[in-house]
Structure 1
């Protein structure tokens, strides 16, 4: 990932630019029906990070990159750290496929990609194009606060009755629908994303509904390159609401947080191969940045 993006010491290999923020979480009355996790059923403080994909930490002035929203809920040893992004699918099904995907994109000595290699890889791995196809078909709104974020993994959630089912996280902006048309007119203005985010944080004008999409029999829980059937119109439960209240120093988001394998009891680890690979990868990335 570092080689494909361009090696930059002490920066993340992906989602390099980010804004660390704080806020609050208030659970809904329905949260307990889905999970017994205290991180989702109890009010708590929130530490979160808005981010942009890519290896360049200063690349904050474009609406063309994948956006990320990671957040930590809970306390007293009952914390969950969730990463979501502005696309509901990942670009690779396994770590081996992800490695080959990145290797095909490393530029040659002339600074240009090997287009024949890229085309050959895409032809033999068509599922790796699903994410790019989704991005091309779904232009992003002009604000981090207006963006819907998805968790690409299927999490086993267990409620107080001992019932377990798979859920996917969907983070939906509250009260943003009417703003989008006006915002789109200035979607390419310089510093729009960063400036808009800072002004909304100052006004305490950012809130999201934390939704759980509910599984159905036969849903693909092992493949993060495909969506669940009819995912946009299926049943969802609102677990709670996140309200962003202020900015934190970026160092606060570089502490031992935002490892998506840290999950409070009641939310289990997804079974897919990509999630398993994150356990070591996040620790390695954090250590190298330090």
Structure 2
């Protein structure tokens, strides 16, 4: 088995493999199928313009957002320790909207589209409803970087709350400020009240909907607030490999771009009617150069068409 499988992976084949790995649930998203749509506001910091001229990040705006749990199963339980948590949000106004997608692990599970397709195909259930663990182990041994995300999740306690989770962007975005200076940044979305976690045993004892119940309770009490941080690049940082972190990401220099406050629950149709399109970025934030990002927009559009 090659280290980076070669083939004809396309956004459509990735969507098909995501659906197959989840057991072909009808009408759901190919990934992060179970979620809750919310609304809020964004207020820019006085330092945002140092990093980007994007009006999405330098002007106050309304926010449409969605919290979700990883995987293509719309019935997945919240007490799955190994499930990713995702936060997708849209900032800005007419003519300058940006969609940002961040998750509870700071790396993706594949470096290239071909590798992502092979990763998913290895996990498609057999006739008995379970994947072939021998095939998965062989693929993981030949492609160790595809285990970085799972290893990170296993090494960290599960979140007690969507509102108490740190979310990471896995892509490096070129950000240009008003002076025309460009540098790469990664997004890090930090809960203003700090992280809140559980032990693995306590997570198992929680009901299947505990994250969503907690979210609604915290929104009602006005307790869902995040700082939008830009991690700043250093010479030698990778901008192409989304399976690895920048060195010392947990403690490196960062600038607070602004604050998101979630103020209410929206009908899920408000988020389901379209997609949070990662290619939708207002001037001042450019497209990351990596292969995975390049496929995301088309894949999300294909997934939307399938669930319609």
State the TM-score, normalizing by the size of structure 2. 0.90
In the other structure, the counterpart of 2:222 is 204
> 5+ residue gaps in structure 2?
1-17
Matched, 1:143 2:137: no
Answer with 69-78 or 58-67: which moved more.
58-67
Match of 2:127 among 109, 122, 129: 109
The answer as to whether partners of 2:140 and 2:147 remain within 8 angstroms in 1 is yes
In the other structure, the counterpart of 1:52 is 69
Structure 2 CA distance for aligned equivalents of residues 56 and 110 of structure 1: 17
The answer as to whether partners of 1:26 and 1:43 remain within 8 angstroms in 2 is yes
The answer as to whether partners of 1:93 and 1:224 remain within 8 angstroms in 2 is yes
The answer as to whether partners of 2:168 and 2:189 remain within 8 angstroms in 1 is yes
Structure 1 CA distance for aligned equivalents of residues 136 and 75 of structure 2: 27
Matched, 1:23 2:76: no
Secondary structure of 1:109's aligned partner: coil
Return the offset for 1:116.
2.0
Match of 1:161 among 179, 195, 198: 179
State the TM-score, normalizing by the size of structure 1. 0.96
Matched, 1:220 2:220: no
Return the offset for 1:186.
5.3
> How does 1:17-96 map onto structure 2 within 5 Å?
17-64=34-81, 65-96=83-114
Matched, 1:125 2:146: no
Structure 2 CA distance for aligned equivalents of residues 194 and 59 of structure 1: 12
Secondary structure of 1:111's aligned partner: coil
Q: How many residues align?
A: 287
Structure 2 CA distance for aligned equivalents of residues 42 and 60 of structure 1: 37
Answer with 140-149 or 188-197: which moved more.
188-197
Secondary structure of 2:24's aligned partner: coil
Return the offset for 1:63.
4.8
User: What is the root-mean-square deviation in Å for CA atoms of aligned residues?
Assistant: 1.4
In the other structure, the counterpart of 1:5 is 22
1:198-240 CA deviation, whole Å, 9 max, x = no partner?
1111112100000000000110110000000111111000000
The verdict on how the C-alpha distance between 1:72 and 1:127 changes in structure 2, with shifts beyond 3 A counting, is same
Structure 2 CA distance for aligned equivalents of residues 175 and 270 of structure 1: 30
Secondary structure of 2:214's aligned partner: helix
Return the offset for 1:268.
0.2
The answer as to whether partners of 1:50 and 1:68 remain within 8 angstroms in 2 is yes
